[in-house]
Protein backbone atom coordinates (compact mmCIF):
# COMPACT_ATOMS: atom_id res chain seq x y z
CA UNK A 1 0.00 0.00 0.00
CA UNK A 2 1.55 3.27 -1.09
CA UNK A 3 1.62 6.05 1.50
CA UNK A 4 3.13 9.49 1.51
CA UNK A 5 5.04 11.17 4.33
CA UNK A 6 3.67 9.87 7.63
CA UNK A 7 4.04 12.73 10.10
CA UNK A 8 1.68 11.13 12.64
CA UNK A 9 3.60 7.85 12.56
CA UNK A 10 6.90 9.66 12.96
CA UNK A 11 5.55 11.65 15.89
CA UNK A 12 4.35 8.45 17.55
CA UNK A 13 7.82 6.91 17.24
CA UNK A 14 9.37 10.03 18.76
CA UNK A 15 6.98 9.81 21.70
CA UNK A 16 7.83 6.15 22.21
CA UNK A 17 11.54 6.89 22.40
CA UNK A 18 10.88 9.77 24.77
CA UNK A 19 9.06 7.42 27.11
CA UNK A 20 11.75 4.79 26.62
CA UNK A 21 10.66 1.36 25.35
CA UNK A 22 12.09 -0.21 28.50
CA UNK A 23 9.75 1.92 30.64
CA UNK A 24 6.61 0.80 28.81
CA UNK A 25 4.92 -2.36 30.18
CA UNK A 26 5.06 -5.37 27.88
CA UNK A 27 1.37 -5.73 27.00
CA UNK A 28 0.95 -2.03 26.28
CA UNK A 29 4.01 -2.00 24.06
CA UNK A 30 2.96 -5.17 22.23
CA UNK A 31 -0.59 -3.95 21.51
CA UNK A 32 0.70 -0.59 20.35
CA UNK A 33 3.23 -2.25 18.07
CA UNK A 34 0.57 -4.58 16.67
CA UNK A 35 -1.64 -1.60 15.78
CA UNK A 36 1.28 0.11 14.03
CA UNK A 37 2.09 -3.08 12.13
CA UNK A 38 -1.50 -3.46 10.90
CA UNK A 39 -1.51 0.18 9.84
CA UNK A 40 1.64 -0.28 7.76
CA UNK A 41 0.47 -3.66 6.44
CA UNK A 42 -3.36 -3.53 6.55
CA UNK A 43 -5.11 -6.90 6.19
CA UNK A 44 -8.05 -5.29 4.37
CA UNK A 45 -9.03 -1.91 2.86
CA UNK A 46 -11.20 0.40 5.01
CA UNK A 47 -14.47 -0.53 3.32
CA UNK A 48 -13.74 -4.21 3.98
CA UNK A 49 -12.75 -3.63 7.61
CA UNK A 50 -15.31 -1.12 8.90
CA UNK A 51 -18.11 -2.32 11.17
CA UNK A 52 -21.84 -1.70 10.87
CA UNK A 53 -24.99 -3.65 11.62
CA UNK A 54 -25.65 -4.22 7.92
CA UNK A 55 -22.19 -5.55 7.20
CA UNK A 56 -21.68 -7.68 10.33
CA UNK A 57 -25.10 -9.06 11.19
CA UNK A 58 -27.06 -9.02 7.97
CA UNK A 59 -24.18 -9.89 5.65
CA UNK A 60 -22.64 -12.28 8.22
CA UNK A 61 -19.19 -10.69 7.95
CA UNK A 62 -18.24 -11.37 11.57
CA UNK A 63 -14.54 -10.85 10.90
CA UNK A 64 -15.23 -7.12 10.87
CA UNK A 65 -15.71 -7.30 14.64
CA UNK A 66 -11.99 -8.06 14.92
CA UNK A 67 -10.68 -5.99 12.00
CA UNK A 68 -12.49 -2.74 12.76
CA UNK A 69 -10.82 -1.79 16.10
CA UNK A 70 -7.36 -2.46 14.63
CA UNK A 71 -7.83 -0.41 11.46
CA UNK A 72 -6.96 3.30 11.24
CA UNK A 73 -7.82 5.62 8.37
CA UNK A 74 -4.62 7.66 8.33
CA UNK A 75 -1.46 8.37 10.31
CA UNK A 76 -3.07 11.06 12.48
CA UNK A 77 -5.94 8.72 13.37
CA UNK A 78 -3.33 6.17 14.43
CA UNK A 79 -1.25 8.74 16.33
CA UNK A 80 -4.06 10.17 18.46
CA UNK A 81 -5.43 6.73 19.32
CA UNK A 82 -2.06 5.18 20.15
CA UNK A 83 -0.82 8.21 22.11
CA UNK A 84 -3.97 7.97 24.19
CA UNK A 85 -3.56 4.21 24.58
CA UNK A 86 0.07 4.62 25.65
CA UNK A 87 -0.93 6.93 28.51
CA UNK A 88 -3.84 4.78 29.69
CA UNK A 89 -2.14 1.44 29.11
CA UNK A 90 0.96 2.27 31.12
CA UNK A 91 -1.09 3.24 34.16
CA UNK A 92 -3.63 0.45 34.01
CA UNK A 93 -1.13 -2.32 33.27
CA UNK A 94 1.06 -1.26 36.19
CA UNK A 95 -1.97 -1.21 38.45
CA UNK A 96 -3.72 -4.39 37.29
CA UNK A 97 -0.74 -6.47 36.18
CA UNK A 98 0.02 -7.72 32.69
CA UNK A 99 -2.20 -10.86 32.57
CA UNK A 100 -5.31 -9.12 33.87
CA UNK A 101 -4.74 -6.09 31.65
CA UNK A 102 -4.51 -8.35 28.60
CA UNK A 103 -7.68 -10.12 29.72
CA UNK A 104 -9.40 -6.75 30.17
CA UNK A 105 -8.30 -5.54 26.74
CA UNK A 106 -9.56 -8.71 25.07
CA UNK A 107 -12.99 -8.41 26.68
CA UNK A 108 -13.27 -4.70 25.91
CA UNK A 109 -12.10 -5.34 22.34
CA UNK A 110 -15.00 -7.72 21.70
CA UNK A 111 -17.69 -6.09 23.83
CA UNK A 112 -17.33 -2.57 22.41
CA UNK A 113 -18.06 -3.95 18.96
CA UNK A 114 -21.08 -5.92 20.15
CA UNK A 115 -22.50 -2.96 22.10
CA UNK A 116 -21.93 -0.76 19.03
CA UNK A 117 -24.04 -3.13 16.94
CA UNK A 118 -26.74 -3.26 19.62
CA UNK A 119 -26.93 0.54 19.70
CA UNK A 120 -27.34 0.65 15.94
CA UNK A 121 -30.08 -1.98 16.14
CA UNK A 122 -31.82 0.05 18.85
CA UNK A 123 -31.73 3.18 16.69
CA UNK A 124 -33.27 1.32 13.76
CA UNK A 125 -36.00 0.04 16.06
CA UNK A 126 -36.71 3.54 17.33
CA UNK A 127 -37.06 4.84 13.76
CA UNK A 128 -39.91 2.47 13.01
CA UNK A 129 -43.16 4.43 12.74
CA UNK A 130 -41.36 7.78 13.07
CA UNK A 131 -42.76 10.65 11.06
CA UNK A 132 -40.49 11.36 8.08
CA UNK A 133 -40.74 15.10 8.77
CA UNK A 134 -39.12 14.71 12.18
CA UNK A 135 -35.79 16.64 12.07
CA UNK A 136 -34.11 14.09 14.35
CA UNK A 137 -34.82 11.25 11.96
CA UNK A 138 -31.98 12.21 9.64
CA UNK A 139 -29.42 12.15 12.47
CA UNK A 140 -30.65 8.81 13.80
CA UNK A 141 -30.52 7.30 10.31
CA UNK A 142 -26.96 8.54 9.85
CA UNK A 143 -25.86 7.00 13.18
CA UNK A 144 -27.56 3.69 12.42
CA UNK A 145 -25.90 3.34 9.01
CA UNK A 146 -22.37 4.52 9.76
CA UNK A 147 -19.49 2.11 9.28
CA UNK A 148 -16.79 2.68 11.90
CA UNK A 149 -13.12 1.77 12.31
CA UNK A 150 -10.56 2.54 14.99
CA UNK A 151 -9.49 1.82 18.56
CA UNK A 152 -11.47 4.71 20.08
CA UNK A 153 -14.25 2.58 21.57
CA UNK A 154 -11.75 0.52 23.55
CA UNK A 155 -9.98 3.73 24.63
CA UNK A 156 -13.19 5.20 26.06
CA UNK A 157 -13.75 1.99 28.05
CA UNK A 158 -10.19 2.15 29.40
CA UNK A 159 -10.67 5.81 30.28
CA UNK A 160 -13.71 4.94 32.39
CA UNK A 161 -11.69 2.31 34.28
CA UNK A 162 -8.71 4.61 34.75
CA UNK A 163 -10.90 7.42 36.12
CA UNK A 164 -12.67 4.92 38.38
CA UNK A 165 -9.38 4.34 40.22
CA UNK A 166 -9.04 8.11 40.77
CA UNK A 167 -12.58 9.23 41.71
CA UNK A 168 -11.52 12.44 43.40
CA UNK A 169 -9.24 13.58 40.59
CA UNK A 170 -9.86 15.95 37.73
CA UNK A 171 -9.21 15.75 34.00
CA UNK A 172 -8.58 18.61 31.60
CA UNK A 173 -10.67 18.00 28.51
CA UNK A 174 -9.58 20.58 25.93
CA UNK A 175 -8.42 22.88 28.75
CA UNK A 176 -11.72 22.46 30.60
CA UNK A 177 -11.38 21.24 34.19
CA UNK A 178 -13.75 18.30 34.66
CA UNK A 179 -14.22 15.80 37.51
CA UNK A 180 -13.10 12.28 36.65
CA UNK A 181 -16.64 11.06 37.27
CA UNK A 182 -17.92 12.99 34.26
CA UNK A 183 -14.78 13.43 32.14
CA UNK A 184 -15.59 10.63 29.67
CA UNK A 185 -19.10 11.93 29.05
CA UNK A 186 -17.86 15.48 28.50
CA UNK A 187 -15.13 14.27 26.16
CA UNK A 188 -17.70 12.16 24.28
CA UNK A 189 -19.80 15.24 23.47
CA UNK A 190 -16.92 17.67 22.82
CA UNK A 191 -15.13 15.34 20.39
CA UNK A 192 -18.29 14.93 18.34
CA UNK A 193 -18.98 18.68 18.28
CA UNK A 194 -15.42 19.52 17.21
CA UNK A 195 -14.98 16.58 14.82
CA UNK A 196 -18.44 15.50 13.57
CA UNK A 197 -16.85 12.83 11.37
CA UNK A 198 -15.96 10.74 14.41
CA UNK A 199 -18.23 7.89 15.45
CA UNK A 200 -20.36 9.03 18.35
CA UNK A 201 -22.00 5.61 18.59
CA UNK A 202 -18.65 3.76 18.81
CA UNK A 203 -17.42 6.13 21.52
CA UNK A 204 -20.70 5.73 23.42
CA UNK A 205 -20.31 1.94 23.20
CA UNK A 206 -16.89 2.23 24.85
CA UNK A 207 -18.29 4.39 27.66
CA UNK A 208 -21.07 1.89 28.32
CA UNK A 209 -18.65 -1.06 28.38
CA UNK A 210 -16.43 0.80 30.84
CA UNK A 211 -19.46 1.45 33.05
CA UNK A 212 -20.40 -2.23 32.87
CA UNK A 213 -16.95 -3.04 34.31
CA UNK A 214 -16.75 -0.37 37.01
CA UNK A 215 -20.35 -0.24 38.30
CA UNK A 216 -21.97 -3.18 36.51
CA UNK A 217 -21.55 -6.97 36.68
CA UNK A 218 -18.80 -7.30 34.07
CA UNK A 219 -15.88 -7.36 36.51
CA UNK A 220 -17.56 -10.02 38.66
CA UNK A 221 -18.27 -12.15 35.60
CA UNK A 222 -14.67 -11.82 34.43
CA UNK A 223 -13.35 -12.82 37.86
CA UNK A 224 -15.68 -15.83 37.95
CA UNK A 225 -14.52 -16.94 34.50
CA UNK A 226 -10.88 -16.49 35.50
CA UNK A 227 -11.43 -18.65 38.60
CA UNK A 228 -13.17 -21.36 36.57
CA UNK A 229 -10.30 -21.76 34.13
CA UNK A 230 -7.61 -21.46 36.78
CA UNK A 231 -5.29 -24.46 36.53
CA UNK A 232 -3.87 -24.38 40.07
CA UNK A 233 -6.94 -25.97 41.65
CA UNK A 234 -7.03 -23.43 44.47
CA UNK A 235 -9.64 -20.71 44.71
CA UNK A 236 -7.82 -17.47 44.07
CA UNK A 237 -8.46 -13.88 43.11
CA UNK A 238 -6.16 -11.40 41.50
CA UNK A 239 -5.17 -8.44 43.59
CA UNK A 240 -3.17 -5.52 42.29
CA UNK A 241 -0.33 -4.20 44.38
CA UNK A 242 2.57 -1.83 44.25
CA UNK A 243 6.07 -2.07 45.53
CA UNK A 244 7.99 1.01 46.48
CA UNK A 245 10.01 0.77 43.29
CA UNK A 246 6.90 1.36 41.19
CA UNK A 247 6.66 -2.18 39.79
CA UNK A 248 3.23 -3.71 39.77
CA UNK A 249 2.07 -7.26 39.45
CA UNK A 250 -0.57 -9.63 40.73
CA UNK A 251 -0.90 -11.22 44.10
CA UNK A 252 -3.14 -14.20 44.77
CA UNK A 253 -5.06 -14.71 47.97
CA UNK A 254 -5.39 -18.41 48.77
CA UNK A 255 -8.02 -19.81 51.08
CA UNK A 256 -6.35 -22.68 52.94
CA UNK A 257 -6.45 -24.23 56.39
CA UNK A 258 -4.73 -21.99 58.97
CA UNK A 259 -1.22 -23.01 59.98
CA UNK A 260 0.50 -22.55 63.33
CA UNK A 261 2.11 -19.20 63.71
CA UNK A 262 5.83 -19.10 63.04
CA UNK A 263 8.45 -16.52 63.81
CA UNK A 264 9.22 -14.58 60.65
CA UNK A 265 10.24 -11.31 62.22
CA UNK A 266 13.41 -11.16 60.17
CA UNK A 267 11.77 -12.01 56.82
CA UNK A 268 11.00 -9.23 54.39
CA UNK A 269 9.23 -9.52 51.07
CA UNK A 270 11.08 -8.90 47.86
CA UNK A 271 8.78 -6.01 47.00
CA UNK A 272 9.62 -4.35 50.33
CA UNK A 273 13.37 -4.71 49.91
CA UNK A 274 13.25 -3.45 46.33
CA UNK A 275 11.85 -0.18 47.61
CA UNK A 276 14.84 0.50 49.88
CA UNK A 277 17.97 2.36 48.98
CA UNK A 278 21.30 0.57 48.95
CA UNK A 279 22.27 2.05 52.34
CA UNK A 280 18.93 1.01 53.86
CA UNK A 281 19.35 -2.54 52.53
CA UNK A 282 22.84 -2.78 54.10
CA UNK A 283 21.49 -1.46 57.40
CA UNK A 284 18.63 -3.98 57.26
CA UNK A 285 21.08 -6.85 56.60
CA UNK A 286 23.28 -5.84 59.57
CA UNK A 287 20.25 -5.57 61.84
CA UNK A 288 19.01 -9.03 60.79
CA UNK A 289 22.49 -10.51 61.31
CA UNK A 290 22.72 -9.12 64.86
CA UNK A 291 19.19 -10.31 65.65
CA UNK A 292 20.00 -13.80 64.34
CA UNK A 293 23.20 -13.93 66.43
CA UNK A 294 21.29 -12.90 69.59
CA UNK A 295 18.64 -15.56 68.98
CA UNK A 296 21.38 -18.20 68.54
CA UNK A 297 23.00 -17.20 71.85
CA UNK A 298 19.66 -17.43 73.64
CA UNK A 299 19.02 -20.93 72.31
CA UNK A 300 22.50 -22.07 73.40
CA UNK A 301 21.92 -20.64 76.87
CA UNK A 302 18.60 -22.48 77.17
CA UNK A 303 20.23 -25.81 76.17
CA UNK A 304 23.30 -25.29 78.46
CA UNK A 305 22.16 -23.26 81.49
CA UNK A 306 25.42 -23.97 83.35
CA UNK A 307 27.59 -22.36 80.69
CA UNK A 308 26.87 -18.72 81.41
Catalytic residue IDs:
152, 203
- Residues near 86 by beta carbon (within 8 Å), at least 6 away in sequence: 15, 16, 19, 24, 28, 32
Q: Comparing C-alpha atoms, which of 203, 178, 181, 180 is closest to residue 192?
A: 203
- CA gyration radius for the chain? 26
- Residues near 71 by beta carbon (within 8 Å), at least 6 away in sequence: 38, 39, 42, 44, 46, 49, 50, 149, 150
b/e string for 62-86 if b means 16 or more Cβ within 10 A?
eebbebbbbbbeebebbbbbbbbbb
CB-based contact 163:183 (threshold 8 Å): yes
Amino acid sequence: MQRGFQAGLLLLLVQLFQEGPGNIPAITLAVLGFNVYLYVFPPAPPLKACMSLDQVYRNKEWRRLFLSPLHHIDDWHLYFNMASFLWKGMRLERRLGGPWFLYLLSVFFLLTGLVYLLLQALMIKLMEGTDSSDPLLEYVQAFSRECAVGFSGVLFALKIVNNHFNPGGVTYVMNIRVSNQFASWVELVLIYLIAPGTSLVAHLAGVLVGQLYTVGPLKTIMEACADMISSDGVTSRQRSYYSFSGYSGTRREYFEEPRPAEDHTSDYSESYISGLTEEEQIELAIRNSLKHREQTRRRETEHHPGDS
